[in-house]
Each structure stands twice: as C-alpha cells, then as structure tokens.
Amino acid sequence: MAETLPDQEPGEKTDYLMIGQLSIAYVMAMLAAVRRMRQGDYLDAVIVAAIFNASGEERRGVSRNALSTILDIPFETVRRRVNALIKKKTLAEQHDGLIFVAYTPDPGPRGEPPLGEFNLQQLRKLFRALKARGVDLN
C-alpha cells in the first residue's frame, strides 16, 4: 500500500509492501547464512542476531534473561541454546553477558564468502533494489 510521508512532495507515494518484501528478503538471507555458516538452526540464528543487535557497537554483553525477554521465548530454551552456541564458539560470555564472536575471515562450509563479506553483498543488493524502484535512501 502506497502512502505519503510528511517529508514527501504531494502526490509522491511510498510502496511499503515492496520495501517490506525486499527488507525481509535481506533478513532471511542473513539468517540462512548465519545458520549455514555456524551449523545451527533458525532459532540459533535468531538468538545470535538478537545478541549481535542488542550488544551494539560497544559490544556490551546481553544476559540470558534479557534475551529471553527480547525474543519472548522461555528462559530454559535460551539457556540450553546459548550453552550450545558457546560450545560452538559462536557466542562468548564476558563479564557483562553474552556477545557474538567476531566475524571470521573463513569461508562457509560450502565455500560461501565470509559472513561479513556476505552481509555487505546482501546490503548492496537490497540498496540497489530499493533505488531501482525509486526509493529515496537519503
């Protein structure tokens, strides 16, 4: 559904459905890549993404309790999953909670580009698709 935003010219419309579809395609590609490269399932990928997002640039730790609240999943499920992800060296525990272990330059198990490189490729793909459809990214 297209609608006008306050900062748009009269008659200019934004197609939120199209933007949502392209954005979700990016999110799904990244979740699938994390799942493949870290040998987990989708819940593991969502847990990793939530920790990565919540920790911010300062790489603050995230508690298991906060993670349970953020994702609205039982604490025991979070505890079990997190412990397995720590054993896989996907997550690490620091004094203030859990963090996502830094990207490695290693390719994925199927020869995929490293996760950071894949993320950049997917972001570029998303931005090009949005621009090609006339979405102003400024």
Q: Where in the chain are the domains?
A: 41-104+111-131
Fill in the DSSP letter of residue 106.
Answer: -
SS3 for 29-98, per residue?
Answer: HHHHHHHHHCCCCHHHHHHHHHHHHHHCCCCCCECHHHHHHHHCCCHHHHHHHHHHHHHCCCEEEECCEE
pLDDT of residue 8: 57
Render pLDDT for 113-128 as a digit per residue (tens, 0 to 9).
788 888 999 999 999 9
pTM, 2 dp:
0.71
pLDDT of residue 6: 55
CATH 3.30.420.480 fits 41-104+111-131, yes or no: no
Render pLDDT for 50-103 as a digit per residue (tens, 0 to 9).
998 888 778 889 999 999 999 999 999 999 999 999 998 889 999 999 998 866
- Nearest Cα to 51, choosing from 90, 20, 88? 90
